[in-house]
Chains A and B, each alone.
Chain A
Amino acid sequence: MIVVPPAIQRIPWKLIAVLSAITGFGLLVLYSAAGGNWSPWALQQGVRFLVFLTVALVIGRFPIRIFEDFSYIAYIGVLILLIAVELLGFVGGGSQRWLNLGFMNLQPSELMKVTIVVALARFYAQLPPGNTHSFTALWPALVMIGLPAALVMLQPDLGTALSICIGGVVVMFAAGLPFWWFGSTAIAGAAALPVLFSFLHDYQQKRVLIFLDPESDPLGAGYHISQSKIAIGSGGIGGKGFLNGSQSHLDYLPEGHTDFIFATMAEEWGLIGGLGLLFAFFLLLRWSTRVALRARTRFGQLTAAGLTMTIFFYIAINLMMVMGLAPVVGIPLPLFSYGGSSMLTIMTCVGIILAIENDSKTGTRRFH
């Protein structure tokens, strides 16, 4: 019998396999989208993945205490960065999202997706159980979510603002706040939709309207959705074959290597490739959900549940967008789309969840 050294055993091989499978598949699609070239996307994405994977594994070794202790400081720091973006950031793609740090462009709103979950998890972990149904369980959380969400909406970036809200709300939900608060808020929110709609920017309103009827503007803003559906639909069950996607290679599909990479993939790999990718994402989310259920601390439970939702939200909104079920909001597909910011966020999430998993293996469950 071969004795596997403990150091090797401690490495989460299954998780690495799932992450590598998703990213590796993404690299093939990026290779094809570049017309059969490793540059400019695939190679860089691969290197970036290796770096971020290492970072995630290192984060996973951190004691969970550190995240809990630094959560508020991190939250306040990112909030200050968001205000700095508003004052100093540069405009790109119709909105003001980025801070130029010299060596890279930082998008603080991405960091906020993680920190809001961690900070809220700490807040509810420290909340005495008896206060769960009281007003003191509610208002600090609403302020903590509302401030960054409002700042991100000002940029304006509807997708990220929604992502921040949904991550926070899921932590609140998991923390055990009364069910009817969520129910009534949802109903009130639905009723207020027309009012909210009027607060959106013109280009956002247009996107929503075109989402409702993409054929009304097939050459303008509806072009993205139409071409994406054509790419997915023409792929059929088995796809057109690797390197044979006409929609992406002939430039009919816009953003074929970033937001619409799923369409690029589906054109060449068909329904089989799509279901395979969905299954890989399912494995990833199943792992993180299990981590949440087995977490040793309440902070760990809430953080893992919230971060799972954050990852899920990326995937769900992106896929709904490329399949014409949601407006074009500019959310990339985790690990699959070319881009550093979203991969950094996802790998940070994965790293923290990994830390929670490691923590749960080391001691008895405690709730305080």
Chain B
Amino acid sequence: MPRKSPPITEAWRGITFTRRALVVGGAQAAVGVALAARMAYISVVDNDRYVLESESNRVNLTLVPPRRGWIVDRHGKALANNRVSLRIDIIPDRLHNKDLVLGQLRTLLRLDGDAMDRINRDLKAASGFQPVAVAEDMTEAEYASILVRLPEMPGIAPQRGFARNYPTGAAVGHLIGYVGAPNAEEYQKAKDPLYITPGYKIGKDGLEKYFQPMLKGEPGGRRVEVTARGKVVRDLETQPDVQGKTVHLTIDADLQEFVARRMGRESGAAVVIDCTNGDILSFVSMPSFDPNSFSDGISNSEYSWLRADDHQPLINKATRGLYPPGSTLKPMAAIAAVEHGVDPSERHTCIGGYRLGNRFFRCLGTHGSVDMPTAIMKSCNSYFYWLAHRLGYDAMAPTAKLLGLGEEFQLAGSNQRYGTIPDSAWKMKKYDQQWSASDSLNAVIGQGYVSVNPLQLAVMTARIASGRRLYPRLINREFRNEPLPFSPEALAVARQGMDLVVNGAGTAVRSRLPLDGITMAGKTGTAQVRGLGTGNGKSGTWKFRDHGLFIGFAPVVNPRYATAVVIEHGMGGARAAAPVAKDFMTFLFDREKAMEALETFEAGWGGTIKERMDRDYAAWKSGASSDPDPEVPQ
């Protein structure tokens, strides 16, 4: 109430001043205490947080990509290893005169416009110390030309890194897969700064992808102190990388390469399994791609070339190719028949076919009176029609499944299509139709609804040969491999029939092993690609020809190796598939003899796989299409 206050005097003013000066002083002191408290809060309570932020300002970590673990075969031979790769990167923060440096690089390394565009694009997207790749896999001469000019090109970081190397190239393409630089999606998922470090590759396919956690190793690091403007003040510490672990496969590298080469210009797959333990010794699908090309970052035109090839080099036919197995299923049918009480010595007369109602199912010959082993040897359809009509396919399908057909195996890194072993329940579910006798007749000769992949055929053969339920494996995993619930007699009939196919008067006598004392048992199969009656499948356009199949094991006594070979559109098992199996089975027992045979073949085909691929690619690039109708090796 200012108006009613006493008259204002100098004394009152003096007292008021003192009071108010103390108020102001007190307020100042209070602010001072608050500031002290605030500082104490920042530097004591929040100390940890700010120390961390200060360190992350100060210290910059450069990752050194780890060397990838090797993939080796059963004898320790490398299927995938690392080679020294000379590379040049740009550290954006240290690049002060961008145009000058890029111009020099362009001249020295002869970079083309595409490469310069990519570098400029990467530089724009990169931040700070994130290196941008300029060139990989440089020659020593190129590398040296950069090294001597290093002082005039700040921001350039030459590096002796490692790149993935596949010594046998295309032979292991589908088996091993390949590596590649991680894409944006993979980086988002992993959130690992290593993923955007140039030179770092991750497994993209096959075993490289499956064993990525084992193979990747631990990155090394280089810690440096940097200023806010990115100038390196000093090195703090360097930690070496830890190489990834080695993956040991059951594969036999030499056999793998031999089989791949022996496939020649054909399209197909071949699998070899050890009959004693289920080890997969060879796992080939041809034609293939060169994983070295993929791992270095495949060019667009090379990829288009692979995609355009009608032999489908990008598909792993050993697990992803489904084929009607044809007559290769007859030994299995024989086992099923004996198990259901058929006497193997019981004879059926082949009159060139089998009459079912008003339909006549044709045989490939007129075999007369045959018993079971002879029917397998001659691949007599009539005999098996007769069995199938008598027992029904529902009696055989469980045997097929016990032998591994229609099964998807737990196999490292493989992506399988497991096909169909039909029975009445399957047909009812799928087509809502009753199973008919003619369905059984078609199924027993491996046509109709039946489809399998080459791996399943090889497993079936290994199981027939060993009498045990072998489980295929690529790495050393333990399986029980218990005996099959079949009578020794049933298995013996199947094996005897298969022995006769090659060593008796059967369909594959020309593929007898050229060895003393070691024989191979087998069964050919020819699977029709087009329906019956629309051409004979023995000539004409490549893609309408019959598939050639062969299953076999050797030696006949105490079998050691089992195999299945599929040659797409090979026109017949005996003609296309059995000779391939004969050669690589020979290789397992007598390498020199087999190599001689192979070298003769390769001379006729125009060189090794790599030479042929290089030539085909060059021809394709220059506009001339490669031969779509390769010759059948004979």
Tell me the A residues contacting B by CB distance below 8 Å.
129-130, 132-133, 170, 173-176, 178, 180, 227, 229-237, 246-247, 250-252, 266-267, 270-271, 274-275, 278, 281-282, 285, 289, 292-293, 298, 301-302, 305, 308-309, 312, 316, 319-320, 323-325, 367-368
Would you give the shortest CB distance from A346 to chain B, in whole angstroms? 16
Contacts of B233 in A (CB 8 A): 250
Do A174 and B17 form a contact, CB below 8 Å, given A236-B47, A246-B58, A266-B39? Answer: yes
Q: Which residue from A251, A308, A367 sits with its C-beta under 8 Å from B229?
A: A251
Q: Which of the residues B22, B29, B44 comes within 8 Å of A237, measured between beta carbons?
A: B44
The distance from the CB of B414 to the nearest CB of chain A, in whole angstroms, is: 48
Closest 4 pairs between A and B when the two form their complex, measured CB to CB: A233-B50, A234-B54, A176-B16, A251-B228
Inter-chain pairs besides A231-B54, A293-B21, 14 sampled, C-beta below 8 Å:
A130-B8, A173-B24, A176-B8, A176-B17, A229-B50, A233-B47, A236-B47, A246-B54, A267-B54, A270-B43, A285-B25, A319-B39, A323-B38, A367-B14
**A323 pairs with B39, CB closer than 8 A:** yes
A278 contacts B35, C-beta separation under 8 Å: yes
* Number of residues on chain B facing chain A (CB within 8 A): 45
Task: Check B257 for interface membership: any CB of A closer than 8 A.
Answer: no
B182 shortest CB reach to chain A, Å: 27
What chain B residues lie within 8 Å of A308 (beta carbons)? 24-25, 28
CA distance A86 to B13 in the complex (A): 39
Partner of B32, one of A130, A133, A235, A282: A282
In chain B, positions 440-458 with a C-beta closer than 8 Å to chain A are: none
- Which B residues are CB-close (under 8 A) to A246? 54, 57-58, 225
Q: Is B49 an interface position by the 8 A CB rule? A: yes
User: Among A170, A175, A271, A309, which residue has its beta carbon within 8 angstroms of that of B39?
Assistant: A271
Chain B positions near chain A (C-beta within 8 angstroms): 2, 5, 7-10, 12-14, 16-18, 20-22, 24-25, 28-29, 31-32, 35-36, 38-40, 42-44, 46-47, 49-51, 53-55, 57-58, 225-229, 233
B38: chain A residues within 8 A (beta carbon): 323, 325
Given A229-B42, A250-B226, check contact A367 B57 (CB 8 Å): no
Query: Is the CB–CB distance between A274 and B39 below 8 Å?
Result: yes
Q: Chain A contacts of B40 at CB under 8 A?
A: 271
C-alpha gap A16/B332 in the complex (Å): 110
* Pick from B28, B49, B55, B227: contact of A251, CB under 8 Å: B227
**Which residues of B lie under 8 Å from residue A251 when comparing CB positions?**
227-229
Most chain B beta carbons < 10 A, residue from A251, A266, A325: A251
**Could you tell me the distance in whole angstroms from the C-beta of B108 to the nearest C-beta in chain A?**
33
Bound complex: CA of A260 vs CA of B36, how far in Å? Answer: 17
Are A305 and B10 CB-contacts (below 8 A) given A323-B35, A325-B38? no
Contact A247 B35 (CB under 8 A): no
Residues of B within 8 A of A293 (CB): 18, 21-22
Cα A113 to Cα B27 in complex, Å, equals 20
- Whether the pair A235, B57 counts as a contact (CB closer than 8 A) is no
Beta-carbon contact of B20 and A174 below 8 Å: yes
With a cutoff of 8 Å between Cβ atoms, the chain B residues found around residue A178 in the complex are 2
* Docked-complex contact B35 and A320, CB < 8 angstroms: yes
User: Once the chains are docked, how many angstroms separate the CA of A250 from the CA of B20?
Assistant: 47
Does more than half of chain B's interface fall in helix, strand or loop, or is it mixed? helix
Q: In the complex, how many residue pairs between chain A and chain B have their CB atoms under 8 Å apart?
A: 147
With A278-B32, A289-B21, A301-B17 known as contacts, the answer to whether A230 contacts B8 (CB < 8 A) is no
Q: Report the minimal beta-carbon distance from B388 to chain A, rounded to whole angstroms.
A: 77
Q: For B228, list chain A residues within 8 Å (CB).
A: 250-252
- In the assembled complex, 27 residue pairs joining A and B whose CB atoms fall closer than 8 Å, in A order, are A133-B8, A173-B24, A174-B21, A176-B13, A178-B2, A233-B47, A234-B54, A237-B44, A250-B57, A250-B226, A250-B228, A252-B227, A267-B54, A271-B44, A285-B25, A289-B25, A292-B21, A293-B22, A298-B17, A301-B17, A305-B17, A308-B28, A312-B28, A316-B35, A319-B39, A323-B35, A325-B38
Report yes or no: A232 in contact with B31, Cβ–Cβ below 8 A: no
Task: Give every chain B residue within 8 A of A227 (Cβ-Cβ).
Answer: 57
List the B side residues contacting A129 at CB < 8 Å: 8-10, 12-13
* Given contact pairs A133-B8, A170-B24, A274 touches B43 in the complex (Cβ within 8 A): yes
Set of chain B residues within 8 Å of A132, measured between Cβ atoms: 8, 13
**Residues of the A chain whose Cβ atoms lie less than 8 Å from the Cβ of B53:** 230, 233-234
Contact (Cβ within 8 A) B2 A133: yes
The answer to whether A232 and B35 touch (CB under 8 A), given A251-B229, A285-B28, is no
Give the most central of B7, B16, B24, B54: most A CB within 10 Å. Answer: B54
- Establish whether residues A173 and B8, one from each chain, have CB atoms under 8 Å apart when the complex forms: no
Please determine whether B225 and A250 come into contact, CB atoms closer than 8 angstroms. Answer: yes
Beyond A132-B8, A266-B43, is A305–B35 a contact (Cβ under 8 Å)? no
Most chain B beta-carbon neighbours within 10 Å: one of A250, A267, A274, A367:
A250
